[in-house]
Chains A and B, each alone.
Chain A
Amino acid sequence: MAYDRKQGGHQVAQANRPDYRLEVGRAEVPVGVPRGFAVLDPARAATLRAWTATLIPSAHGRPDAGALGAAEYIDATLLKVPSLRPALLHALESLERIAMTKAKKPFADCDNDVREQLLRQFQVEGDADAFSMVSDFTYEAYYGHPEVLAALESATGWHGLGPVTGGPMAPFDAKLLNRVKSLPARWRHVPSETGGS
């Protein structure tokens, strides 16, 4: 079963359509590993870090995505997939252009509310595919991070390490089936004269 798909608006991954989702299969980038920037210069790196922090801000006792290295994770992905670099570089330029026009200062220097407004404008006017790429990669970097998974447990009861450590559960109680066992058979008997080998 596939459940790593967004609900609605989904397009089938095709072999013949350029799509960032098709480019990342060979880019294994562990989450939560300390790393710097390899592809982006410091100014663009600052813009991207602010972008990721705006997508998932700090709240509910959890850090923002920028503080957890989401921008570095995206940069590391682009290091392995050079074909994705043009889209991101153009998107960063577009976002900075909007920031300088609307806020009169670099995107990274704006406060949270302004950044969110600017980013919403970029989402509408800019490269939608590049926006989706940065969003998806930011979500990956955030929800794969051990610090976030640990924070989720205290805040929501979701045991973030459970899927890799396991744990005991109560066995199935067959008494639950008492009613169903009393029901008549519910399957069709196949007459012997039909078909057959």
Chain B
Amino acid sequence: MSREPEADVLVIGSGASGAALCNRLSGYGAKVVCLEQGDWVDRARLPKAHVDWEVRGRRHWAANPNVRRWPADYPVGSDGEDPIDVYMYNAVGGSQIGFAGNYWRFAPSDFRVHSLDGVAVDWPLTYEDLAPYYTINEAEVGVAGLAGDPCGPERPPLPNPPAPLGRPGELLVDGYEKLGWYWWPTEQSITTEAYRGRLACDHRGWCTFGCPRGSLSTADLTYWPGALKNGVDLRTNARVREIMLGADGRATGARYYDKDGFIQEARANVVVVACGGLGTPRLLKLSASPAHPDGLANSSGLVGKNLMVHVQSFAVGHFKDPVDGWRGTWGGTVSTRQFYETDPSRDYIRGFIMSGCPGWSPLNLALQIAPWGSGHHAAFDERINHEISLYMCGEDLPEESNRVELDWDHLDGFGMPGVRTHHALNENSRRLGADMIAHGRQVLEAAGAKSVRDFGLAPIWGWHLLGTARMGNDPKTSVADAFNRAHDVPNLFIADSSSMPTSGGVNPSSTIQALALRCADHIWETRRDS
């Protein structure tokens, strides 16, 4: 194996952040190698390419890796008072291949949680620092939405118009208007018009089950085509075992198993870890050495800690008239940030969003509400096409006790350990969650629902796995600096959801990708230092 660097930058992970990094850096002319433990998704096997898509979504496409068990998946256990049902994908495009497309910017206050509200930590950067990269990213992926929302700072127009409301959205708008609340069309990572060679959304809905049309802006469709054209060497089925260090303490590359199980090395001047909220701490801990006995870049002891997942639930309204709930984007067409900012009159700090979706699809609805036996069809028919669901997402503050650790009792297909998460909602999250659900029920009733059911706060949906290698200015209380550079290793960057110091109260993909672009620019601008 060659000892010389074969690339300027090695990126580990090809998901939302890794793809953006590879595209951006290769666009500048950097020689980039990317190691991805999974493979390209076979688009013919996307559930939504088939009539029985709901069934396929529970098996081959199951979001929980313990169910799906693709060759690249590793075991994920869950402990704690409120255990996380982990949802993530190991493939080119990462967990975005199964996301709904909700694509929010953080609010300026999200970057200053400690200064404004006296809890958690501030980010080592501001909204203004990240805003230009939000804009670049929105153009790259083709975000749909409308500028002018009074719940956020001014911003440029978005590249695509908002998704159609459909009857569910119209009903929710009625509810918001009756209550006098703020609302706005949801920003979605969906091409509502033909955009940069991609087709316009044709409203099939249920986006998390894959978009055969390619209108859902997943990283395999947005950033990867350009990155490959720029010459990025993307190596799939490459399971990284450890990050290598030189005698000078600098990262020299990574050692990985190739698709045949043979050990290989990839060497570069700069190494970027972009494996997500569980995968990144897993790899850093696997890279322990005598110089870094508790894991690489872990002098703070915070690698794997402060795992955040958001406080999430659904409220479901039952309406007398049909709602045409079988069409339209699923991630939510209309949203409200009425309760997003901290309000001293409430018994908790921070806040939440609500985003309206169509109702449930047949199989999932039947599993939820239709008992077996002679009463089955009557119960089902009363609900199908008569429900609207409201997705609710609130801030989950960081707690060191919420964490992810290596699990040597459960190994992946290459003999490497799985992980185990430990999670409990704190009192603030419970209060926030209760208020969030109460307000969700309120708007559905205002919209005309004759009854409302909700999902409570269990299970803890683990779509958003954040904070396990957080950024900060102080090496004692953070893992990476304001540009995602590891405090302990000067040419190692941690650029994914794990780097987020706090969670905000919105879906994180937009912020993850904006951070990645900013990190890429910093790597390029300081390449001679690195």
Q: Do A and B come from one complex?
A: yes
Chain B residues, Cβ within 8 Å of A152 = 362, 384
**In the complex the two chains form, is B53's CB within 8 Å of A163's CB?**
yes
Q: How many angstroms between the C-alpha atoms of A172 and B56 in the bound complex? A: 32
The B interface is mostly helix, strand or loop, or mixed, namely loop
Closest to A165 in B: B204
Chain B residues, Cβ within 8 Å of A161 = 51
Interface range, A side: 35 or more
- A3 → B minimal CB distance (Å): 6
**In the complex the two chains form, is A3's CB within 8 Å of B314's CB?**
yes
**In the complex the two chains form, is B166's CB within 8 Å of A4's CB?**
no
**In the complex the two chains form, is A172's CB within 8 Å of B162's CB?**
yes
Q: How many angstroms between the C-alpha atoms of A178 and B152 in the bound complex? A: 17
Closest to A183 in B: B150
Question: Which residues of A71-114 are within 8 A (CB) of B?
Answer: 112
Chain A residues, Cβ within 8 Å of B183 = 180
**In the complex the two chains form, is B84's CB within 8 Å of A194's CB?**
no
Q: B306-344 toward A: CB 8 Å interface, digit per residue (1/0)?
A: 000000101000000010111110010100011011100
Contact with A1, one of B100, B116, B185, B361 (Cβ below 8 angstroms): B100
Asked if A4 meets B66 with Cβ closer than 8 Å, knowing A188-B108, A197-B129, the reply is no
- B278 → A minimal CB distance (Å): 13
Q: How many angstroms between the C-alpha atoms of A191 and B362 in the bound complex? A: 50
Chain A residues, Cβ within 8 Å of B389 = 3
Chain A residues, Cβ within 8 Å of B459 = 5, 10-12
The A interface is mostly helix, strand or loop, or mixed, namely loop
**In the complex the two chains form, is B173's CB within 8 Å of A176's CB?**
yes
Q: Is A116 an interface residue (CB 8 A)?
A: yes
- A35 → B minimal CB distance (Å): 14
Contact with B52, one of A13, A31, A179 (Cβ below 8 angstroms): A31
**In the complex the two chains form, is B322's CB within 8 Å of A139's CB?**
no
Give the residue among A7, A12, A173, A196 with the most B Cβ atoms within 10 A. A12
Chain A residues, Cβ within 8 Å of B52 = 30-32, 144-145
Give the residue among B201, B213, B385, B407 with the most A Cβ atoms within 10 A. B385
Chain B residues, Cβ within 8 Å of A21 = 67
Chain A residues, Cβ within 8 Å of B182 = 180, 183, 186
Closest to A184 in B: B150
Q: How many angstroms between the C-alpha atoms of A179 and B213 in the bound complex? A: 35
Q: Is B496 an interface residue (CB 8 A)?
A: no
Contact with B67, one of A16, A24, A28 (Cβ below 8 angstroms): A24
Q: Is B413 an interface residue (CB 8 A)?
A: no
Chain A residues, Cβ within 8 Å of B127 = 190
Q: How many angstroms between the C-alpha atoms of A25 and B367 in the bound complex? A: 18
- B211 → A minimal CB distance (Å): 10
Q: B39-70 toward A: CB 8 Å interface, digit per residue (1/0)?
A: 00000000011111111111110111011110
Q: Is B111 an interface residue (CB 8 A)?
A: yes
**In the complex the two chains form, is A25's CB within 8 Å of B62's CB?**
yes
| Interface size of B in residues (CB-CB distance below 8 Å) | 118
Q: How many angstroms between the C-alpha atoms of A119 and B326 in the bound complex? A: 33
Q: Is A55 an interface residue (CB 8 A)?
A: yes
Chain B residues, Cβ within 8 Å of A190 = 108-109, 111-112, 115-116, 126-127
**In the complex the two chains form, is B369's CB within 8 Å of A7's CB?**
yes
**In the complex the two chains form, is A195's CB within 8 Å of B123's CB?**
yes
Contact with A15, one of B77, B112, B377 (Cβ below 8 angstroms): B77
- A66 → B minimal CB distance (Å): 13
Q: How many angstroms between the C-alpha atoms of A31 and B57 in the bound complex? A: 13
**In the complex the two chains form, is B381's CB within 8 Å of A60's CB?**
yes
**In the complex the two chains form, is A158's CB within 8 Å of B326's CB?**
yes
Give the residue among A3, A54, A116, A156 with the most B Cβ atoms within 10 A. A3
**In the complex the two chains form, is A180's CB within 8 Å of B327's CB?**
no
Q: How many angstroms between the C-alpha atoms of A156 and B362 in the bound complex? A: 11
Chain B residues, Cβ within 8 Å of A158 = 325-326, 362, 384-385
**In the complex the two chains form, is A14's CB within 8 Å of B377's CB?**
no
Chain A residues, Cβ within 8 Å of B314 = 3
Chain B residues, Cβ within 8 Å of A164 = 48-51, 53, 204, 212
Listed A/B pairs (27) with beta-carbon separation below 8 Å: A1-B391, A1-B463, A2-B463, A4-B54, A7-B455, A10-B459, A12-B83, A13-B85, A16-B77, A26-B59, A26-B60, A29-B59, A59-B374, A138-B372, A145-B52, A157-B322, A158-B362, A163-B53, A163-B205, A165-B204, A177-B148, A183-B182, A187-B150, A187-B337, A190-B115, A194-B115, A195-B115
Shortest beta-carbon contacts, A-B, top 4? A166-B202, A144-B52, A15-B75, A194-B115
Interface residues of B (CB under 8 A from A): 48-60, 62-64, 66-69, 75-78, 83-85, 87, 100, 107-109, 111-112, 114-116, 122-127, 129, 146, 148, 150-153, 161-166, 173, 177, 182-185, 201-206, 208, 212-213, 312, 314, 322, 324-328, 331, 333, 337-338, 340-342, 360-364, 366-369, 372-374, 376-378, 381, 384-385, 389, 391, 407, 409-410, 418, 453, 455, 458-461, 463, 482
